[in-house]
Each structure stands twice: as structure tokens, then as C-alpha cells.
Amino acid sequence: MTVFAAHLPDDIEPGDAVNDIQLPLTRESAAELVRIESDGKVLSVDEKKDNGDTIFRVKVLHENGKIKIYSVDQKTGHTLH
């Protein structure tokens, strides 16, 4: 299931406290986390399973026009490479 940016909260601004985001992540909190860390605009969030773990794939548009996909572990909140 994909969540598009139009359905995500707009009240998180770059520089807000990442520590306020609770684990395990939801689609919305994964989007907030990536938006805070990347200073970009979240376009969509997809969820996938990897060896039983939930990974959120967050698509972000940056100011330079480039789109990047961040993979975030639901349990830890860590960005995967």
C-alpha cells in the first residue's frame, strides 16, 4: 500500500526533534523522520517485507529536483543503505 504526500501531516518542519518520533514506526512517522533528516518533500511511502521485517521506502523530492528513495527499518528507525 502506498501513502501519498497529500495524506501526510504537514506540521513537521526541518529541524524538529527527531527524538519525538516513537518506535515502531508507522508510515506517517517514517515519512516525518525522513522529511526531517533529508530536508526534502515526501512524495510517497511504500511498505515492504524483508526477511520478516517491515521496511518503509520513502520517496523524497529534494530542492535540486532530484528524487531519492530512503529505506527505513520500522523497528529501529534506522535508514538502510
H/E segment holding residue 38: helix 27-38
Answering whether pTM is above 0.85, one says: no
- pLDDT at res. 60: 98
What ranges do the domains of the chain cover? 2-80
Distance CA 17, CA 14 (A): 9
* Domain 2-80 belongs in CATH node 3.30.750.200: no
The tens place of each residue's pLDDT in the chain, 81 residues long, gives 555 555 555 554 544 556 678 999 999 999 999 999 999 999 999 999 999 999 999 999 999 999 999 999 999 999 997
